[in-house]
Structure 1
Amino acid sequence: MGGDSGPPAMVAGAARALARRHDLRFLLFGDQAAIREQVDEHEGLSAACQIVHCNDVIAGTEKPSQAIRRAKTSSMGRAIAAVKAGEAQAAVSGGNTGALMAMAKLALRTMPGIDRPALAALLPTLGANDLVMLDLGANTECDVQNLVQFSVMGAAYARVVLDLERPRVQLLNIGTEELKGTDELKEAAAILRASTDLGMRFDGFIEADKISRGGADVVVTDGFSGNIALKSVEGTARFVTDLLKRAFTSSVRSKIGFLISRPATELLRHHLDPNNHNGAVFLGLNGLVVKSHGSADQKGVANAVWVAARMAREDLTRKISHDLASVADRSARAAAQ
């Protein structure tokens, strides 16, 4: 029931995801009549889904503290409860991010060895693949262990969704020199440099202007800085596309130039389309929860579903647990020496 379009976009996204992966099955939580109307418009979807009627819906403007009181009756809360009960392998929602995070954390709890869950998403780059960035707003302040744990989770996620054997991990900083940054960043970097058996390659620090260049596969930071960096990247992408649109419509000559360069501009539009990178993930919970952007269309929702399905198939939670245990063992041995 969430997102700017509600059932039309979410149901159409489920149908699009099913067309690509025929083994998917859906539990659709929300107003039964509104959902059924949309399901009936997509051939074959009805046989692959079950509608779970919910009278209660969390509004996008509600505070998490208010929404969490209705976790047992709302469509969002009941979808998360289905993951906890093992009735679903992952939950996908386009609704209130704060409410989703609060409900998921309360119901699923954090994994052993994780102090706080983090919000991770894929961003486009000029490199051969997208990059994973976290945290994007779940934790405004982070200590050394949080940054190390985020790095482990981000690398495991990158191995699953980007098919990378040893993702390149970097910490977001104000410079690349080892002496720059906060004490937390320096200490986290030291721990990660010593961790050579975690299925990742730690490449030190990265500055914000290099995020999209393609030199890193995972960028790790606190939620405050990460959210600002994400909004800056998104704003810049909109600025570039709007500037090009204005330039190409400014005169007859410009319009002719647009027709000639249309293949290139279409490639740019596709690369910057947020629907092609939709599906932020709450990493570090005892269950999989994916946040679809509120403005996502059916293509974006389908991408979020595919992300969720792949994480479930690849058993992302087990991979994170294994790597965290390795970090804990190394820390215990170092403390004993």
Structure 2
Amino acid sequence: MTQPLVISIDAMGGDHGPSVVVPACAQALATLPSAARLILHGDEAAVRAELGRHAALAARAEVRHAERVIAMDEKPAQALRRGKGTSMWAAVEAIREGQAVVAISAGNTGALMAISKLILRMSADLDRPALVASIPQTRGLTTFLDVGANVDCDAGRLVEFAIMGEAYHRAAHGVARPTVGLLNVGSEDMKGHEEVREAHRILREGGIELDYRGFVEGDDITKGAVDVVVTDGFTGNVALKAMEGAARFMYDELRGALTSGPLATLGALMARSSLRRFRDKMSPPPAAPLLGLNGLVLKCHGGADVRDFAKAIQVAADIAQSGFASEIERNMRRLPAALADAGPASADGAA
């Protein structure tokens, strides 16, 4: 028997809290299966005040009071010490208790990762979860990880990311055999630092059974050169923020040009549907899953508006029904043998 689709939501997370989360939930329910339900964790008075404007949502949502909220600038260690009783903690705890199949929060990223790891634990002997983003490209979406959860990564961690990212892309996007690449400063074997060269060697020689295509460069992410691009959290977060900023700049400049005069505005009105498609294509999905946990947790960006958070709920529902966690667990069983097969690196550390 399949588990009912119940989504646990931190209603207080992000820059806007219930004023965005509740209307987004109402909007998202129109696209979810009729049996889907939501659990909203947060200040009951504030959540119910918003819920009163959405009668249809009230019938399919349960409100659970949480006394406290984790601040957006709170350090992860502090969030762990005082996390119990917060809306974020309660949202994740519902997964462990079997009351929901997926949790989503727009709150503090570091706190969400630390709390999720503490409550749900890691699967398959992994050390820390990876944060994955889906980047728009010509043929669809590129799975890009890690985008901020792990700043320092050795070769073994990058290989883990490759395995998790490949399994996620197959399950979430229906690609039978996703292609995988390592982000580097060039495509030649001698390029890059020691860790990325060693990960390249393991993926090439370790018999992990991935469709590994070697090194890719920054512009390959949006070209769709491979389905899955792997990097460390520092590089990934900088690249992601740069792409988001560039997309926002282009969209704002285009909007400014199309409202610069009466004729331009008229043209923009006539092309409204095409411009909306352009905006949607340029906007990456607003929810990023934390891969490697014994449970499914998604991070929505803190400044999400109603439309963004509604899309994030839909992404959470789609992933919850995809079965990607079992794919990751299956693939991770191959890692020890693959590392043994690859053997030690050469004396000079080159790939």
Within-5 A mapping of 1:184-199: 184-194=195-205, 198=209
| Aligned match for 1:297, one of 288, 294, 305 | 305
- 1:66 corresponds to which letter in structure 2? Q
* CA positional deviation for 1:204: 1.0
RMSD: 2.1
Q: In the TM superposition, what are the counterparts of 1:113-152 in structure 2 within 5 Å?
A: 113-127=125-139, 129-152=140-163
> Which AA in structure 2 matches 1:118?
A
The secondary structure found in structure 2 opposite 1:141 is: coil
Identity of matched residues, %: 44
Match of residue 170, structure 1, among 178, 181, 185: 181
CA distance in 2, matches of 1:305, 1:262: 26
Query: Are the structure 2 counterparts of residues 247 and 303 from structure 1 closer, same or farther at C-alpha, using a change threshold of 3 Å?
Result: closer
In structure 2, the partner of 1:3 is 14
Task: Note the alpha carbon deviations across 1:204-237, whole angstroms, 9 max, x for none.
Answer: 1111122111222111100000011001101111
Task: Indicate which of 269, 278, 285 corresponds to 2:279.
Answer: 269
Q: Indicate the residue corresponding to 1:48 in structure 2.
A: 60
Instruction: Name the amino acid aligned to 1:64.
Output: P
Moved more, 15-24 or 148-157: 15-24
Distance 2:96 2:179 in 1: 32
The equivalent residue for 2:324 is: 316
TM-score, with length taken from structure 2? 0.88
Could you tell me how far apart the structure 1 residues matched to 2:262 and 2:54 are?
Answer: 43
CA drift of 1:196 comes to 5.7
Per-residue displacement from partner, 1:162-213 (whole Å, max 9, x unpaired)? Answer: 1111111111100111221122112212222246664x42111111122111
Distance in structure 1 (CA, Å) of the matches to 2:31 and 2:18: 20
Contact 1:31 1:54 in 2 (8 A): yes
Quick one: distance in 2 between partners of 1:334 and 1:247?
A: 55
What code does the residue aligned with 1:111 have? S
Q: 2:86 aligns with which of 49, 71, 74?
A: 74
1:116–1:146 Cα contact (<8 Å) kept: no
Choose the corresponding residue for 2:335, options 319, 323, 327: 327
Q: Check if 1:59 corresponds to 2:71.
A: yes
Aligned counterpart for 1:204 among listed residues 193, 208, 214: 214
Letter aligned with residue 187 of structure 1: E
Shift of 1:28: 0.9
Matched, 1:282 2:282: no
Going from structure 1 to structure 2, the CA distance change for 1:185 and 1:96 (only over 3 Å counts) comes to same
In structure 1, stretches of 5+ residues that fail to align are none
Q: Matched residue pairs, number? A: 332
TM superposition shift of 1:103? 1.0
1:314 aligned counterpart, secondary structure: coil
Return the letter of the residue paired with 2:182.
L
Tell me the distance in 1 between the aligned counterparts of 2:271 and 2:25.
34
Provide the secondary structure at the position in 2 that maps to 1:112.
coil
Q: Which has the higher helix share?
A: 1
User: 1:244 maps to which residue?
Assistant: 254
CA distance in 2, matches of 1:201, 1:13: 38
Distance across 1 between alignment mates of 2:323 and 2:275: 38
CA distance, structure 1, for counterparts of residue 185 and residue 321 of structure 2? 37
Take 1:290 and 1:172, find their aligned partners in 2: how far apart are those partners?
A: 24
Amino acid in the other structure paired with 2:290: F
CA contact (8 A) 1:70 1:77 kept: no
Cα deviation for residue 255 of structure 1 reads 4.1
- Say if 2:96 is the partner of 1:89: no
Distance 2:327 2:89 in 1: 26
Which residue of structure 1 aligns with residue 241 of structure 2?
Answer: 231
The corresponding residue for 1:27 is 39
Alpha-carbon shift at residue 17 of structure 1 (Å): 2.5
- Distance in 2 separating the partners of 1:266 and 1:18: 22
Deviation for aligned residue 1:257: 5.0
Name stretches of at least 5 consecutive residues in structure 2 with no aligned partner: 1-11, 344-351
Decide whether the 8 Å contact of 2:182 with 2:200 is kept in 1: yes
